[in-house]
Amino acid sequence: MNKNGGDDILTIWWWLVAGIVAVAIFIMVTIYASKPIDIRNIESALLTEKILDCISEDGKILSDVSIFDIDSCVNLGTEYSEKQFFVKIQELKADCKEDCLISEKISGRSDFEIYCEKEYGGKVPVCKEISLLLSKNGVNEILKIKTVIGKVDKNVL
- Where along the sequence are the contacts to other proteins (CB under 8 A)? 7, 11, 14, 18, 22, 25-26, 29-30, 32-34, 36-37, 39, 42-43, 46-47, 49-50, 71-80, 84-85, 151, 154
Provide the minimum distance between the beta carbon of 24 and other proteins in the complex, in angstroms, as a whole number. 10
Provide the minimum distance between the beta carbon of 66 and other proteins in the complex, in angstroms, as a whole number. 21
Provide the minimum distance between the beta carbon of 25 and other proteins in the complex, in angstroms, as a whole number. 5
Residue 76 and residue 109 in contact, taking contact as beta carbons nearer than 8 Å: no
Provide the minimum distance between the beta carbon of 107 and other proteins in the complex, in angstroms, as a whole number. 12
Choice between 65 and 70, CB closer to other proteins: 70
How far is 51 from 147, CA to CA, in rounded Å? 10
How far is 32 from 36, CA to CA, in rounded Å? 9
Choice between 141 and 146, CB closer to other proteins: 146
Beta strand 126-136 with 85-93 is: unpaired
Choice between 48 and 141, CB closer to other proteins: 48
Q: Would you say the C-alpha torsion 30, 32, 35, 39 has a positive or negative sign?
A: negative
Concatenating the DSSP letter of every residue in 94-156 gives SS-SSS-EEEEEEEE-GGGGGGGTS---SS--EEEEEEEEEEETTEEEEEEEEEEE--HHHH-
Provide the minimum distance between the beta carbon of 9 and other proteins in the complex, in angstroms, as a whole number. 13
Choice between 9 and 29, CB closer to other proteins: 29
